[in-house]
Structure 1
Amino acid sequence: MTQLVLEQALNGLQFGLMLFLLAAGLTLVFGIMDMINLAHGSLYMVGAYIAASVAEQSGSFVLAVIVAVGATAIIGALLELAVLRRLYRRDHLSQVLATFALILVSNEAVRMIWGDQPVMLAMPEALSGPVEIGGFMYPAYRLLIVVVGVVAAASLYLLVAKTRLGMWVRAGASNREMAQAMGVDVRRLFTIVFAIGAALCALAGALLGPLLAVQVGMGESILILAFVVIVIGGIGSVRGALVGSLIVGVSDTLGRALLPTLLREIVPLEIAASLGPALASILIYLLMATILFWRPEGLFPARA
């Protein structure tokens, strides 16, 4: 039982760090631009498809990740310049409708380019086996995802906390009008932030591609969890996005793995088989409601 808990905790850490890559860009866009971007998950999907195509043509997984991150960042910047910039002064309902339309357009564009069938993205052969950690075996590729996620989180923290660009980002998240009055080029800042968010999406999509199916619509389900993360962590807060991602990732993974087993000790097997997955699926939403009852603005709001 201890080994199962440790293994699932590592799986939850890995899932949480990938959620952070999605949620970090989303919370910056939401916190600084006051922009609800439902198409954020589509960039995650596009990054995964680009990585799969490059890996198939070149045979190099590392090259596939690099190209996917760079190409998706460019796509994100162009999307912000061409479409999203026109929505900043619109109300949230207009933003939701417009970005939902972008989801539909993105899905159809992917179908036209890659087809309707899932695309395979193979993990590096050198990382296809397990490694020993603390007396039990754990997949080497999942461990790589954990390491990359930690490095990406640390790099984003240094960018936001220690650089001039990060100072502008923090100022924009706290008070956008004051930052603009103090001379910050908000338009350029918006484009840079959106490109960074798109690159992080692509990194998550490329790394999770070998574990999940690369298919049309893959960004919608994970986008819901990303919104849960930024609500829990606090809108506009990178630190909140990291803490919220880890809470959601570990809670969701451990809940799905352990709740059915624990329920079998309390209720009959037939009831546990149906009740366990149902409770596990709503666990993070109950957790979100509890945190918001305690702290309505989230754990680390940027505008505290």
Structure 2
Amino acid sequence: MLELVVFSTLNGVLYGMLLFLLASGLTLIFSMMGVLNFAHASFYMLGAYFGFQLSQWLGFWVALIAAPILVGLIGAGVERWGLRLVHKHGHVAELLFTFGLAFVIEEMVQMIWGKLPVDYRVPPLLDFSAFTLFGTTYPAFRMFMLLISVAIFLVLLVILTRSRIGLVIQAALSHPNMVAMLGHNVPRVFMLVFGVGSGLAAIAGVIAGPALVTQPSMAHVLGPILFVVVVFGGLGSLPGAFIASLMIGLIQTFAIAVNYSLGDLLSLLGMARPMQGALSDLWQVTVAQIGPVVPYLMLVLILIFRPTGLMGTRDT
């Protein structure tokens, strides 16, 4: 039981921090532009594929730096020559633009790398066990993923709260006209934030690609859960996105790891399980089977009882 708790906690925190890398960029973009970028998970996929390709040519460590920069430049270009032009037509046009962009990126990935998963491997330098606990080894690369995620969170926190550019960004979030009157180029700030947000998603893709499956459908796997994180934490709230990411990561990981049903609980308590009736099969459904649904149940509840999210100030 202790082994289950320890490893589920490690995996849950790791999954939560990866979600935060994605959600942080999306949260900043929404805070500044009021746009829920449906293509954000596609930049995560691009990061994974760029990381794979660059690691084949130049090695993983060069790819870890170069891939997010390239994706960040693509994101900045999308904002400058796409969203900025669409913005005058309203938020519906922006949502449709990003929705279509997600499909375009997926089709381009399939044209270049094919529809099958690519062989994106863990770098040899990190291909060993970090430690052994309860007779089970834990990969060093997963610890590396966790350290990178935590380090980026701390750097992002310091930049936004302590640096001059962070103060300008925060001011542009709430008072863009005043920032513009002070001589700052607000559209350029928007482009910078969109590019950095896309780069953060790409970092998650580069470090998650070797541990997870790098394939064209990977954006669809994390895309829906990403919006759950952003809405649950509160639209526009970076601390809320952090808390929601860890909560959902831990809850979903523990739910998947627990292979018990309500019927098993009744048997443990010495109570007979109903074996007949229209709902008899529900007693056999395990927690692991409903684990993927748990975040969406959390989303429904937060929208009912607190539409602004945990720490948000804007209604969803």
For 2:107, the aligned partner's letter is E
What's the TM-score once normalised by structure 1's chain length? 0.91
Q: Which has the larger displacement, 67-76 or 145-154? A: 67-76
Distance 1:222 1:65 in 2: 20
- 1:262 deviates by 5.2
Amino acid at match of 1:226: L
Distance in 2, Cα, partners of 1:273 & 1:175: 54
Equivalent residue for 2:264? 265
State the partner residue of 2:101: 102
Once the two structures are superposed, residues 250-270 of structure 1 have per-residue CA deviations (whole angstroms, 9 ceiling, x without a partner) of: 111111111x33546236797
* Aligned residue in 1 for 2:300: 289
**Superposition deviation, residue 103 in structure 1:** 1.3
Per-residue deviation, residues 163-216 of structure 1 (Å, max 9, x unmatched): 122112222323444444444321001111011111111100011101222111
Instruction: State the TM-score, normalized to the length of structure 2.
Output: 0.88
**Following the alignment from structure 2 to structure 1, what is the Cα–Cα distance between the partners of residues 178 and 308?**
21
Moved more, 145-154 or 265-274: 265-274
Amino acid at match of 1:165: I
More displaced stretch, 80-89 vs 15-24: 80-89
1:113 — aligned with what?
112
The 1:91/1:148 distance shift into structure 2, 3 A limit, reads same
Q: Which moved further from structure 2: 17-26 or 265-274? A: 265-274
Matches within 5 A, 1:81-160: 81-132=80-131, 137-160=137-160
Which structure 2 residues correspond to residues 1-304 of structure 1 after superposition, within 5 A?
A: 1-58=1-58, 60-132=59-131, 137-258=137-258, 260-261=259-260, 263=262, 265-266=264-265, 274-301=285-312
For the pair shown, the structure with the greater C-alpha radius of gyration is 2
Gaps of 5+ in 2: 267-272, 276-280
Deviation at 1:273, TM superposition (A): 6.1
Could you list the runs of 5+ residues in structure 1 that have no partner in the other structure? none
CA RMSD in angstroms comes to 2.3
Deviations 1:4-42 (A, max 9, x none): 121011101111111111110101111111112111111
User: Whole-Å Cα distance in 2 between the matches of residues 290 and 39 of structure 1?
Assistant: 26
Query: How far 1:109 moved relative to its partner?
Result: 1.3
Distance 1:178 1:279, change over 3 A: farther
Other structure's SS at 1:137 match = strand
> 1:42, 1:217 within 8 Å by CA — same for their partners in 2?
no
Residues of 2 paired with 1:137 and 1:275: CA distance?
Answer: 27
- CA distance, structure 1, for counterparts of residue 221 and residue 286 of structure 2: 22
